[in-house]
Amino acid sequence: GAGVSQSPRYKVAKRGQDVALRCDPISGHVSLFWYQQALGQGPEFLTYFQNEAQLDKSGLPSDRFFAERPEGSVSTLKIQRTQQEDSAVYLCASSFQGSSYEQYFGPGTRLTVT
């Protein structure tokens, strides 16, 4: 496809369940970002990949959060033992270069933990 895609678009999980969120970036884009967006707030940085290398994971809120991009393309954000405070929209963005310039965002995955 032409843009960044994410799946699922919506996910409802019971507290304690594990979830996996997928991001398909634009083909050829080197950089991939994951953000968490709470209602009424801007995106909060979670982690950054350059190709398959995870260069920064300083924004991951706890060790229950794990992200990977094994072949430098598709990325998965996994949340283990979900908690209610994990409820948010998770946005994925990619950019052509290894910089913050002009990031292209996916539609997001809205996670609701009940």
Partner 1 sequence: SQELEQSPQSLIVQEGKNLTINCTSSKTLYGLYWYKQKYGEGLIFLMMLQKGGEEKSHEKITAKLDEKKQQSSLHITASQPSHAGIYLCGADVRASNYQLIWGAGTKLIIKP
Distance (Å, whole) CA 21 – CA 28: 21
Among 43, 69, 88, 94, indicate the residue that binds partner 1 (CB under 8 A): 43
Where in 57-86 is the site for partner 1 (CB under 8 A)? none
Tokens 């995955």 -> residue? 109
- Return the number of the residue (22 or 80) whose C-beta is nearest partner 1: 22
Q: Which stretch binds partner 1 (CB under 8 A): 14-22, 34-42, 65-73, 76-84?
A: 34-42
> Binding to partner 1 by residue 108, rule CB under 8 A?
yes
Q: How many residues interact with partner 1 (rule CB under 8 A)?
A: 27
Residue 94 CA from chain centroid, whole number: 10
Show the site string, 10-29: x = touches partner 1 by CB under 8 A, - = not.
Answer: --------------------
Q: What does 68-89 look like in DSSP terms, one character per residue? A: E-TTSS-EEEEESS--GGG-EE
| 8 A C-beta contact, residue 16 and residue 113 | no
Angle at 42 between CA 41 and CA 45, to 5 degrees: 125
Name the residues that contact partner 1, by CB under 8 A: 4, 6, 31, 33, 40-45, 48, 55-56, 91, 93, 98-108, 110
